[in-house]
Amino acid sequence: MDKFSLTALAGDHLDQAHDSHAGRSTETLVGGSRRRLRQTLITLTDGTHMSEHDFPGEATLHVLSGRIRLEAGADGGEAAEGDLVVIPPERHSVTALTDTVFLLTVVK
């Protein structure tokens, strides 16, 4: 059985994001490009923007800490710690409104 401490990983990745010129850190915890299910821990520092990108398949975003803004076409909104967001099936972008850690789950 594989087991992860999301709390510990979040702290480590937040430190890495602060040390990165891009203001982010990511780690795929489950799956990968050759699997249908993929879960990736993503950490963004306050103000970091993930530019618009294509919809990867069915996807959710679970905010573990912090707050983000998700823009998807004409739709958009904020999500905060504890929120689970179903990502709309269209191009979208994400902006961290504070230092933020979230778990992205994708099924292709």
Q: Is the pTM of this model over 0.85?
A: yes
Report pLDDT digits (tens) over 34-48.
Answer: 788 999 999 999 999
The per-residue pLDDT for 73 is: 81
Strands 67-72 and 58-65: unpaired
Go through the domains of the chain in sequence order and give each one's CATH number: 6-107 (2.60.120.10)
Low-confidence spans in the chain with pLDDT less than 50: none
H helices of 1-108, where? 6-19
The per-residue pLDDT for 69 is: 97
The per-residue pLDDT for 82 is: 97
